[in-house]
């Protein structure tokens, strides 16, 4: 009996990523630096908005 490998998390590791994805991730990493939903300060609220917008 042979073992067959089935990989189900394709979206997490697909390469190469579209350029727009790289640009969006880079911008977010440079500009959004607070945990969402952990506080009511400006940056936390901003990071929460970014996540909410991405889910739409």
The pLDDT tens digits of the residues spanning 1-56 come to 578 877 777 777 778 888 998 999 999 999 998 898 888 899 999 999 999 998 87
Q: How far is CA 11 from the centre of its chain?
A: 11
Q: What is the pLDDT of residue 14?
A: 78
Measured distance CA(27)–CA(17) in Å, rounded: 15
pLDDT of residue 45: 93
**Structural domain range at position 23:** 15-55
Report residue 18 as tokens: 């579209």
| Number of separate domains in the chain | 1
> Does the residue 4 lie in any domain?
no
- How many Å apart are CA 50 and CA 45, to the nearest integer? 9
51 occurs within a structural domain: yes
Residue 34 lies in a domain: yes
pLDDT of the residue at 52 = 93
- Position 21 in a domain: yes
List own/partner pairs for 17-25 with CB under 8 A and 24 or more apart: none
45 in any annotated domain: yes
């Amino acid at each position: 009996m042979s073992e067959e490998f089935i990989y189900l998390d394709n979206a997490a590791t697909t390469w190469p990523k579209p350029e727009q994805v790289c640009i969006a991730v880079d911008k977010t990493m440079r500009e959004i630096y607070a945990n969402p939903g952990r506080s009511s300060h400006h940056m936390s609220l901003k990071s929460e908005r970014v996540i909410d917008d991405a889910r739409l």
